[in-house]
Amino acid sequence: MGVRERKERERQDRERKIVECARRIAENEGWPAVTTRRLADEIEYSPPVLYGHFPEGRDGIVSAVALTGFRDFTLTMGRALDGIDDAGRLTAFIRAYLEFASDNPATYEAMFSMRLGVRFAHESTPPELRAGFEMLSSALGGRATGESGTRAEVFWSALHGMCVLTRGERLDPGNEAARIAELAELFG
């Protein structure tokens, strides 16, 4: 392996380490605890090294966590739907989505609530976001285009609302199964 390849691999490893550290801190302590100085201390690199990877600073790191979250989300949803028949597909997707949001609250927040340096529903939308939305649309039995795309957006909005309201303890925890069934019936 040449010097150039080794340096590139080391750069990718540092970037991965920064993103993983930011995600770990955010999941354990919340996003306010994620600062470039804290990350630099945790991974034992200077702040300029972080800015070398993420010139946008913390916002770039949050965007990288969100993109990693979308990759994880797509894999998780795919596993949840693997082997599920059409009749149970939507309910399985809803459960897996709610579980993903509950298990990864800070990552979910980065993915769906925080300002990101990427655009949704645009030609420049990163492939990780497109794959996540395609997964959402496929759970409804369609592709994320035209009327089907609008239906997926409304479905996503309802799921996101359920996640936010559940996290904020605004919904009756004993009524979750009924909410899931109702949402699946509305969109099934």
Each residue's pLDDT tens digit, 152-161:
999 999 999 9
**Distance separating alpha carbons of residues 125 and 134, to the nearest angstrom:** 12
Each residue's pLDDT tens digit, 2-39:
888 988 999 999 999 999 999 999 999 999 999 999 99
Q: What is the residue type of 141?
A: G
| Closest alpha carbon to 97 in 26, 145, 158, 188 | 158
Each residue's pLDDT tens digit, 103-125:
999 999 999 999 888 888 888 88
